[in-house]
């Protein structure tokens, strides 16, 4: 039994079968990559895992419990964090505040009426946030308006926000898209390090094969909403069907 078990998930948008009988099992403390051409249904699959979409049929189990029927915030509180394809951050807030919010959510739960203490007086939260910014190489940007940063920086911030919650399952939707090469390499290093140090399971969608092959233990290839093959990176590299369907131009 993997920590994440997706069984026979179907999702239609009108006449479009975005997901057709998807089965996926992700082992605890591994990194599982999901690759596939544009429009294959990769983001849709992640949406079904975090309560953004509800599958038409099928089941999604996280650590033995169903996520279906739970609201997004409850699913997050179960230990699933997600980085989106287009960065979802708090644009009007400072970078430091962005980093503090998930730490508050982790410590205080879904709601806490903490109306009289000072945000920056919360030493433990502030320290954790500063440390995370340090790890993300963003400490110098802490007082910047988050919306004014580059797309790559926004994404690094979002990754940091998710990591700061110490999720058990981290879902990454093209985390390095729009990043400079150096930042991409930093991100790979950081994710590798976190994978080694902590108990964390990662599911990553990525078009950059360098990132995929440096991080993942297993790879699922999705095409037109259905898993084509699932195997280890080495096998996937040589798989004729995959080369034809997807890796043709990149491998």
Partner 1 sequence: MFGLDKKDFNLFLVVAAMALLAPFILNPFPTDSALAQFNAGYPDLMQRFVIFGIFAIGFNILFGLTGYLSFGHAAFLGVGSYSAVWVFKLLGMNVLPAIALSVVVAGLFALLIGFVSLRRSGIYFSILTLAFAQMSFNLAYSVLTPITNGETGLQLTLNDPRILGSSATADGSIPVTNLLPGLEIRSAYDLVIGPWSFTFNVGYYLCALFLLLAFYLSVRIFRSPFGMMLRAVKSNQQRMHYTGLNTRPYTLAAFVISGMYAGLAGGLMASMDPLAGAERMQWTASGEVVLMTILGGAGTLIGPVLGAGFIKYFENIFSKINDNVLHGWFAFMPDGLEDFIVTIIHPFIGKGWHLTLGILFMLVVIFLPGGLVEGGQRIAKMFRKKSEGTDTHVDAKHPAE
Told to check if 46 binds partner 1 by CB under 8 A, we report no
Report the alpha-carbon distance of residue 104 to residue 129 in Å, rounded: 10
Query: What Å distances lie between residue 14 and 11, 18, 43, 50, 225, CA to CA?
Result: 10, 10, 17, 21, 14
Q: Smaller CB distance to partner 1: residue 97 or 230?
A: 97
Told to check if 55 binds ligand ATP by CB under 6 A, we report no
Q: Contact, 166 vs 106, CB < 8 A?
A: yes
Site for Mg ion in 27-66 (CB under 5 A): 43
Told to check if 117 binds ligand ATP by CB under 6 A, we report no
Q: Contact, 103 vs 81, CB < 8 A?
A: no
Site for ligand ATP in 9-28 (CB under 6 A): 13, 16, 18
Q: Kindly state the smallest distance separating residue 243's Cβ from partner 1, in Å.
A: 35
Told to check if 112 binds partner 1 by CB under 8 A, we report yes
Q: Which of 9, 22, 33, 96 binds partner 1 (CB under 8 A)?
A: 96
> 112 exposed, middle or buried (CB, 10 Å; 0-12, 13-18, 19+)?
exposed
Q: Contact, 139 vs 153, CB < 8 A?
A: no
Q: Kindly state the smallest distance separating residue 174's Cβ from Mg ion, in Å.
A: 7
Euclidean distance between the first and final Cα of the chain, in Å? 32
Site for Mg ion in 191-210 (CB under 5 A): none
Told to check if 234 binds partner 1 by CB under 8 A, we report no
Q: What angle do CA 48, 50, 56 make, to 5 degrees?
A: 25
Q: Which residues bind ligand ATP (CB under 6 A)?
A: 13, 16, 18, 36, 38-44, 85
Q: Which residues bind partner 1 (CB under 8 A)?
A: 50, 52, 71-73, 76-77, 81-82, 84, 88-97, 100-102, 104-106, 108-120, 122, 143-145, 161, 165
């Amino acid at each position: 039994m993997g920590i994440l078990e997706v069984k026979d998930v179907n999702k239609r948008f009108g006449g479009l079968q975005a997901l057709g009988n998807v089965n996926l099992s992700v082992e605890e403390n591994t990194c599982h990559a999901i690759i596939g051409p544009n429009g294959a249904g990769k983001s849709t699959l992640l949406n079904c895992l975090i309560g953004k979409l509800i599958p038409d049929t099928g089941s999604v189990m996280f650590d033995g419990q169903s996520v279906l029927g739970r609201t997004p915030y409850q699913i997050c509180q179960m230990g699933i964090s997600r980085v989106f394809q287009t960065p979802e951050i708090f644009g009007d807030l400072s970078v430091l505040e962005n980093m503090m919010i998930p730490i508050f959510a982790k410590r205080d739960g879904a709601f806490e009426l903490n109306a009289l203490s000072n945000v920056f007086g919360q030493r433990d939260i502030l320290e954790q946030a500063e440390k995370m910014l340090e790890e993300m190489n963003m400490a110098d940007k802490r007082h910047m308006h988050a919306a004014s940063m580059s797309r790559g920086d926004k994404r690094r911030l979002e990754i940091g926000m998710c990591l700061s919650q110490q999720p058990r399952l981290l879902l990454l939707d093209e985390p390095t898209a729009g990043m400079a090469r150096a930042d991409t390499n930093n991100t790979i290093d950081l994710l590798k390090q976190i994978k080694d140090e902590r108990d964390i399971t990662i599911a990553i969608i990525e078009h950059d094969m360098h990132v995929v092959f440096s991080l993942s233990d297993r790879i699922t290839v999705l095409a037109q909403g259905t898993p084509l093959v699932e195997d280890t990176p080495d096998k996937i590299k040589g798989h004729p069907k995959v080369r034809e369907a997807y890796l043709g131009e990149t491998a």
